Structure 1
Amino acid sequence: MINVLAIGRNSYQNSLDLCVTSRALGASEITFIGKKDARLVNYINRMNSKWGGKFKVSFAKSCEEFLKTSDKAIKIYLTRYGTSFQEKSAMISTYKRIVLIVTDKEDVDYINKISDFKISITSQPHCRAASIAVFLHEYYKGRELAMHFENAAYKISQNGATEIKK
């Protein structure tokens, strides 16, 4: 189970990008710090009902509050200032419960202190959705590209046609 924790200010579009990327590539949940955005929750619920899966969007008042409930999960902070992902990927792939932390700030002291791993996807500036995508692709070793989403009403066939189940 991989839960993404998104810390910082997000526009609706940016939040949606984080959700859709996380969902499509195998995370089971994303948690945002701040007040609930019903539009975002409704959008993802509609997406789940059309395209399948059980991806969940949740909100927490603070990252400290959220992380207390995730004490059995490994906390991985994705930042350009960490250890190269390639150096730690074999070790990280052994963990099944992961909180993947992304922030809109370059460095967050509290997150630095509590993270089990501080991982750099690249040492160049990049967006949070890209770091999530690269991490999940490497973690699942490409298997996420063939994932099955249960109860999908829509399915894209091998020839590119969209099949709609009723």
Structure 2
Amino acid sequence: MHDDAAAGAEVAVLRLGHRPGRDERMTTHVGLTARALGADRVWIPDNAGQSRDTVADITDRFGGPFEVDLTDSPKAIIRNWEGQVVHLTMYGERVQDVEGEIRERHRDGESVLVVVGSEKVSFDVYEEADWNVGVTNQPHSEVAGLAVFLDRLFEGDELESDWEDAEQRVVPMATGKRVVPAESEEDGGAGSVGDVDPESES
């Protein structure tokens, strides 16, 4: 996590699989969720270049640090990872039962690789993982599972992150939408309405 106040060992996300023409939005949202909720980097399949470009553009405009890379060898990343490998799957152990140990080991300096599947995940991934973790053990979106896991890993501290080298920032508002230059001191007010750059919305 890039905020020094809650910094620990690296947290990375690996997207397994990408079906062109079907998974563009989901793969993009895996990357955006990883960035927004405290991960340091994401790897996505090498046939998802458009998703990579979108996540990189958001990082350029709304700040980092955050790295997004393509890979043609996702299983090699799992095999060679020096730290905990957490595979998110509805068939895994309940997140509420294992999050404490994962978090403690991370705080003690052990990096975390969070593996998020797309199509059917081969059994060797289950065997390579240190943890197979289920969020609810019910069918759900992999983006939702990633968001819940990262929030539990960081215990909400990721919501207070400071974003470096941002060009723009969103002004929190009770009503309306406003995006301003990052260096602006403008704050939102209850009921205030502002213009928003439509290109800033994912």
Cα distance in structure 2, aligned partners of 1:46 and 1:105: 26
Cα distance in structure 2, aligned partners of 1:165 and 1:5: 29
- Count of matched residue positions in the alignment of Structure 1 and Structure 2: 164
Give the aligned partner of residue 152 of structure 1.
166
Give the aligned partner of residue 196 of structure 2.
none
Render the CA deviation track for 1:41-75: whole Å, top value 9, x for unaligned: 322222112100022221222332222442x1200
Give the aligned partner of residue 102 of structure 2.
92
Question: Is the 2:13–2:43 Cα contact (8 Å) retained in structure 1?
Answer: yes
Cα gap change, 1:34 to 1:46, in 2 (>3 Å): closer
Code of the residue aligned with 1:5 in structure 2: it is: L
Counterpart of 2:66 (choices 41, 52, 55) is 55
Greater length-normalized contact order (CA 8 Å, ≥ 6 residues apart):
1
Question: Where do 5+ consecutive residues of structure 1 fail to align?
Answer: none
Give the aligned partner of residue 180 of structure 2.
163
Cα gap change, 1:164 to 1:78, in 2 (>3 Å): same
Cα distance in structure 2, aligned partners of 1:162 and 1:98: 33
Cα distance in structure 1, aligned partners of 2:48 and 2:90: 28
Render the CA deviation track for 1:1-27: whole Å, top value 9, x for unaligned: 211111122421111111111111111
SS in 1 for 2:70: strand
- In the alignment, structure 1 residue 126 sits paired with structure 2 residue 140: yes
> Between Structure 1 and Structure 2, which shows a larger proportion of strand residues?
1
Cα distance in structure 2, aligned partners of 1:165 and 1:148: 11
Cα distance in structure 2, aligned partners of 1:6 and 1:165: 30
- RMSD, aligned CA: 1.9
Counterpart of 1:8 (choices 17, 21, 24) is 17
Question: Is the 2:86–2:132 Cα contact (8 Å) retained in structure 1?
Answer: yes
Cα gap change, 1:164 to 1:92, in 2 (>3 Å): same
**Greater displacement, 143-152 / 125-134:** 143-152
Structure label with greater radius of gyration: 2
**Greater displacement, 128-137 / 87-96:** 87-96
Provide the TM-score with structure 2 as the length reference.
Answer: 0.74
Cα distance in structure 2, aligned partners of 1:145 and 1:43: 22
Question: Where do 5+ consecutive residues of structure 2 fail to align?
Answer: 1-9, 184-202
Code of the residue aligned with 1:108 in structure 2: it is: S
Query: In percent, how many aligned pairs have the same letter?
Result: 22
Provide the TM-score with structure 1 as the length reference.
Answer: 0.88
Cα distance in structure 1, aligned partners of 2:151 and 2:40: 14
Code of the residue aligned with 2:25 in structure 1: it is: Q
Render the CA deviation track for 1:56-109: whole Å, top value 9, x for unaligned: 221222332222442x12000111111111111110102141110111245521
